A and B are shown apart, each in its own frame.
Chain A
Amino acid sequence: MDLLRFATAGSVDDGKSTLIGRLLLDSKAIFEDQLEAVEATSRTKGYDYTDLALLTDGLRSEREQGITIDVAYRYFATPRRKFIIADTPGHVQYTRNMVTGASTADLGLVLVDARQGLTEQSRRHAVILSLLRVPHLVLAVNKMDLVDYDEGVFEAIRSEFAAFTQRLNVPDLAVIPISALQGDNVVTRSEHMPWYEGSSLLHHLENVHIASDRDLRDVRFPVQYVVRPKSDEHHDYRGYAGQVASGVMRPGDEVMVLPSGLTSRIAGIDLYDREVEAAFPPMSVVVRLEDDLDVSRGDMICRVRNAPQQSQDVDAMVCWMTREPLRPRQKLAIKHTTRSARAMVKDVQYRLDINTLHRDGDTQELGLNEIGRVRLRTTQQLLTDPYEHNRVTGSFILIDEATGSTVGAGIVN
């Protein structure tokens, strides 16, 4: 059984909570006491239906205000796959939460109400998912029961969305007509829509091919920690622990350590008490080298003729996540793979309007929840790849040095 992480976006009005509630219920991931608590609360509030949104609104302040304020993680499994849902709210702190949820997702699920058609919000969802290089996108056209399961309504939304996403980087798009409330095309194929020949949503989630999303060619191994037992039994052991970002490493491979540029061969790869014949993403392993090099946290192991960029100048799209705007000359802490440094904002080249994709070059600031292209100068060289090629070596976070808060998320151009 493998693992699929997906991000959902949409508001309560689109029926997102109902859909998630149904997926959890039908896969038996919701327990009776959870359902009873939600039913009781729904009655107290005077609703004549069970408000499945209460399952996902975890914090008291959210229940009091009737809004979701944060990314919530949900879990369910079928015999084929385990799923992790990053459920992001539709309104408040929208961009920040959506970027957070999308950062780890293999698939993005966007919901629209069949009666409303595409909205500004659904276009924004698609833009953010494509910026974050989520490789698979699903548009679920919900509430088909309220438009009499009409093929024409679905087809109009489908073709409009397909045309819109042509301007984005969406390698794989599926559009599925559903009714989350009635269960049409959620778990099983609906009898109400014989004109639809695709699979149900759950079937699609179970079968979408994610194995080839990984880069198995370009070896990138950020060194996290040096394992040196210094015990009698393992007196000379020295290994470099980390999680493989991309590529396949094998004992005997010739490798280069950056930033020093020194080369050696892999003597062995350890996974706890046994040696493995290959390490690939996302394995956490310990790599031993044949030569005694000076390697420490923040360094990167790669192949000799296949190295990342090494530079103190970083050109990136930044999503800004705090009230105080990002400005030129501002100094921040930056964390990139296992390397931490300081960074100064050189300039803001443009701000991206995520509704129209228009680039506004007349600005020198990025406000809360805005995304723009920014140039940074760092105190140390960073070892980067373009985010579109590598989501691990192409991403970083920006930290306010005074408050310690995470204030920005960056993807390397």
Chain B
Amino acid sequence: MPTHSDYRLSQLDELEAESIHIFREVVAEFEKPVLMFSGGKDSIVMLRLAEKAFYPARIPFPVLQVDTGYDFPEVLACRDSWVDRLGVRLVVASVEQAIADGVVVDDGRTSRNRLQIGTLLAAIEEGGFTAAFGGGRRDEEKARAKERVYSHRDEFGQWDPKNQRPELWSLYNGRLHEGEHMRIFPLSNWTELDIWHYIAREDVEIPSIYFSHRRRVFERDGMLLTESGFNPLREGETAAERTVRFRTVGDLTLTGCVESTAGTFQEIVDEISVARLTERGATRGDDRFSEAAMEDRKKEGYF
């Protein structure tokens, strides 16, 4: 909360003010914004900021979720609860449907994460969305460290990292040509710890899988993956029940959990404060394939 005695904002309030400014700027300048909602903690913080930015009016844009078909049921439940409370329109773009429609090709080798790209781009094009809010943060990954708040995408949805527009002060350039769109990252300057401090302060609902719980898991490539019908055990793998929680939320066949007893916001903050691995390096199979995995996917149009 702002302290009025010395007219200073805490760093969390300053980040909030900056993000709210970005949301309002986009709604004022773009014809058709949409918020990309994964159900993860970052997209929940985005919804919270959007709620604050336009209050007492409703959030003036819909929420788009790409359903991989491999989503955690706890995440979908949390999504529905937020959508109901805010009275915001939900658009679901299904990877299954995109495969059935021939928009993307499931060759059995490509991960659902990668198939999301084509599904997402088709949904943006179909909806005619000109600006898509994403929960990406610059502290997550080094390709993201150089991304703008307003990140331009050409008519193929591609990002050109070598040809980004300079971004100065808080003056954002939203110019687009026909068929292009802008990705907007209102959480650019937030860190993982900021996100948790904010969620704790605002006391908002997040998917239960972020908190410690008992779950049947197995080990693959050094990660603990959840046992499920989508994720058949391979030879030599055995599942066992452990006390775990998730640090990120994605496709459940690729998103690992960590052994943890953190059951409250404060315990999570304490755990992150001493963590020695990045959230993506620790628990995201999709980012581990090469040093430039994120950069390559982003160029193609990933979140």
Contacts and interface: CB of A to CB of B under 8 A. Distances in A.
Interface stretch (B52-60, B125-133, B234-242): B52-60
B28 A297 contact: yes
A59 B161 contact: yes
Contact of B11 (A2, A61, A243): A2
A233 interface: yes
Interface string B226-250: 0000000000000000000000000
Interface string B249-286: 00000000000000000000000000111100110000
A2 B175 CA distance: 33
B292 to A, nearest CB: 4
Contacts of B146: 58-59, 70-73
B7 interface: yes
A153 interface: no
Contact of B162 (A61, A77, A231): A61
Nearest to A34: B278
B20 interface: yes
A395 B169 contact: yes
A55 B278 CA distance: 13
A178 interface: no
B164 interface: yes
B162 A33 contact: no
Interface stretch (B99-107, B109-117, B186-194): B186-194
Contacts of B277: 31-33
Given A211-B6, A224-B28, A282 B278 contact: no
Interface residues of B, number: 64
B145 A73 contact: yes
Interface in B153-176: 161-162, 164-171, 173, 175-176
A100 B166 contact: yes
A74 B275 CA distance: 18
B142 interface: yes
Contact of B169 (A214, A271, A391): A391
B139 A283 contact: no
A75 B189 contact: yes
B56 A233 contact: yes
B53 A61 contact: no
Contact of B27 (A73, A103, A225, A230): A225
A243 B56 CA distance: 17
A: interface residue count bin: 35 or more
Contacts of A396: 171
B223 interface: no
Nearest to A103: B168
A100 B167 contact: yes
Interface stretch (A10-18, A114-122, A399-407): A399-407
A397 B168 contact: yes
Interface stretch (A186-194, A252-260, A273-281, A305-313): A273-281
Nearest to B276: A32
Given A73-B138, A409-B168, A243 B17 contact: yes
Contacts of A144: none
Contact of A280 (B7, B55, B165, B173): B7
Give 3 closest A-B pairs by Cβ, nearest first: A404-B175, A58-B142, A33-B281
30 contacts: A56-B145, A59-B142, A60-B292, A73-B138, A73-B146, A73-B188, A73-B189, A75-B138, A75-B189, A81-B11, A84-B189, A96-B166, A97-B166, A99-B166, A211-B7, A225-B24, A227-B54, A237-B56, A241-B53, A241-B54, A243-B21, A272-B55, A282-B18, A333-B175, A392-B170, A397-B169, A404-B177, A405-B173, A406-B166, A406-B173
